[in-house]
Amino acid sequence: MITFQVRRSLKPLAGVLIAGSVALTACATPPPSTGVPPQTIAPTLRATSVATTPVSTPDAVRMDIATSSDTSPDGQWVAETTVATPKSGDSYYANLTVTDTTGTSGWVVVDSWAPYGFGYTVPRPFHWSNDGNYLYVTNEPVPDGCALFVNGSDLQRVDLSNGEVTQIIEPVGSWLSLSPDETELAYLSWNGDRPLVVRNLASGAENAIKLPAGGDANWQAGNVVWSPNGDSLIVTIANAPCSGGWAQSTSIVQINLTTLEARPLLEDDSRLLVTAEWPEPPTIVLQDQNGQQVRMNAATGQIEQNEATGTLQGHVNIGPLQPVVRVDEPTPAVPPEAYAARQIVIYAADGQTEIARVQIGPNGNYEVALPPGTYVVDINRGGIDSNKSLPAKVQIEAGQTKTLDVEIDTGIR
């Protein structure tokens, strides 16, 4: 299990592969994310022994040092990553070392200093092979800008028996996903004309797949997950990302890899659900921004009600939106950015312990799954926003839906 102790960044592959800077633009339009591919140095043929003296030791006084570890499923190997970023300066340090759990052998895959650019890249253990003989490693971009889905850019394979490193794929995009049998790689490309690509790792043959993201609206795609038998993919599309919130809504799309057809299972959903895993053929697991999970029927796209939780939902209206509205003029519609700037806040029964912050969708609706119990509901009360009926207590029952509509007074007069 991978346990990252600090931010999403890891380190640039140094001793074996060094990633330079990467810049991703502020928001992706039809491509899943845009940007400049990171420059990488071709990997050496072999990682160095763990007995090798490090390039240099980062200074803990001048640098923020982060560590993470990832143990192989068979418990035989541990990959340890160290990333040191300067409190002031223009270079950062990365080390990625793989050792067996007896401590008798291992390999220094990365040990280097690299300059910052518009963002930067760091090495990350990506996948332990099914046979236990290899560790796949990637350079993960740490972008300067809006990039919602980032987990790697290229792919290297380290032979744990002798330290040999093979470059599987050059820097191609922002999100990678290896098939269950490790024969194919799906990636979200920097090339907007080829948003999603599936590559056969033996032959190098590729299939590019268009994603059904709507019109000219900004969007980003990510969290690509394979079906258990490898015949389908599931992808999350974030609509209007970083426009006053993480995104305004999400869509879940399934791709049939035999026909290369993409079909939406969930469209423009304000709960901001993203794909998490596909543990069995009929069931997909989705997760919201609060870490709560729901199950989706892979054939119908229907969200299955979790009997252990209940649902709180409602519609939010915001106003006034301008100081004076003439009697003969219609009330102006609430713009999506007004909703994106506000949240519904859920507290425990004591009214003090925060349980969740729920993003309001672009249509003014919100929804959250909660364990049975008593909760206090309020708004985040930014600026001079007010609501005379909140905070309010609500009772959530397992398998039931509670509706609480909210009127937010902006104070504009």
pLDDT of residue 336: 85
| Separation of alpha carbons 389 and 369, rounded Å | 22
pLDDT of residue 214: 52
Lowest-confidence pick of 27-41, 80-94, 267-281, 311-325: 27-41
Helical segments of 213-281, H only: none
User: Quick one: pLDDT band at residue 305, thresholds 50, 70, 90?
Assistant: low
Instruction: Using the predicted structure, report yes or no on whether residue 29 has a pLDDT greater than 50.
Output: no
Average pLDDT, the chain: 82
Instruction: Using the predicted structure, report yes or no on whether residue 127 has a pLDDT greater than 80.
Output: yes
Instruction: Copy the structure tokens of residue 82.
Output: 């160290």
User: Quick one: pLDDT band at residue 204, thresholds 50, 70, 90?
Assistant: very high
Instruction: Copy the structure tokens of residue 229.
Output: 């038998």
Instruction: Using the predicted structure, report yes or no on whether residue 200 has a pLDDT greater than 80.
Output: yes
Mean pLDDT within 174-180:
96
User: Do residues 409 and 386 lie in contact, with contact meaning Cβ atoms separated by under 8 Å?
Assistant: yes
Task: Give domain 310-409's CATH superfamily.
Answer: Carboxypeptidase-like, regulatory domain (2.60.40.1120)
**Which residues of the chain form CATH 2.60.40.1120?**
310-409
| Separation of alpha carbons 257 and 337, rounded Å | 37
pLDDT of residue 188: 95
Longest CA–CA span in the chain (Å) reads 82
Distances in Å between the alpha carbon of 326 and those of 151, 322, 329, 407? 52, 11, 5, 21
pLDDT of residue 36: 36
pLDDT more than 90, % of the chain: 47
Tokens 């915001």 sit at which residue? 318
pLDDT of residue 10: 28
Give residue-wise pLDDT tens across range 246-289. Answer: 888 899 999 999 999 999 999 988 888 999 999 999 999 999 87
Give residue-wise pLDDT tens across range 353-375. Answer: 888 888 888 889 998 888 888 99
| Separation of alpha carbons 99 and 84, rounded Å | 21
User: Quick one: pLDDT band at residue 39, thresholds 50, 70, 90?
Assistant: very low
Instruction: Using the predicted structure, report yes or no on whether residue 37 has a pLDDT greater than 50.
Output: no
At position 19, the amino acid (one-letter code) is A
Instruction: Using the predicted structure, report yes or no on whether residue 26 has a pLDDT greater than 50.
Output: no
Which phi-psi region, left, alpha or beta, contains residue 234 (left: φ > 0; alpha: ψ -120 to 50)?
beta
User: Quick one: pLDDT band at residue 136, thresholds 50, 70, 90?
Assistant: very high
Question: What's the gap between Cα 405 and its chain centre?
Answer: 30
pLDDT of residue 327: 60
Which residues are bridge partners to 341 per DSSP? none
Mean pLDDT within 203-224:
84
CA-nearest of 385, 386, 413, 411 to 323 is 413
Helix, strand, coil shares of the chain, percent, nearest 5, are: 0, 50, 50
Query: Strands, E, within 227-309: which ranges?
Result: 232-239, 249-256, 261-269, 274-280, 283-287, 293-297, 303-304
pLDDT of residue 402: 94
Instruction: Residue 392: count other Cβ atoms within 10 Å of its Cβ.
Output: 12
pLDDT of residue 4: 24
Mean pLDDT within 65-84:
93
Mean pLDDT within 71-96:
90
Tokens 């969200």 sit at which residue? 303
Instruction: Copy the structure tokens of residue 286.
Output: 């989705």
Phi (first) and psi of residue 338, to 5 degrees = -70, -40
Identify the burial level of 249 via C-beta atoms within 10 angstroms of its C-beta, where 0-12 means exposed, 13-18 middle and 19 or more buried: buried
pLDDT of residue 192: 75
In total, the chain counts a number of residues equal to 413
pLDDT of residue 43: 41
Instruction: Using the predicted structure, report yes or no on whether residue 171 has a pLDDT greater than 50.
Output: yes
Mean pLDDT within 17-35:
34
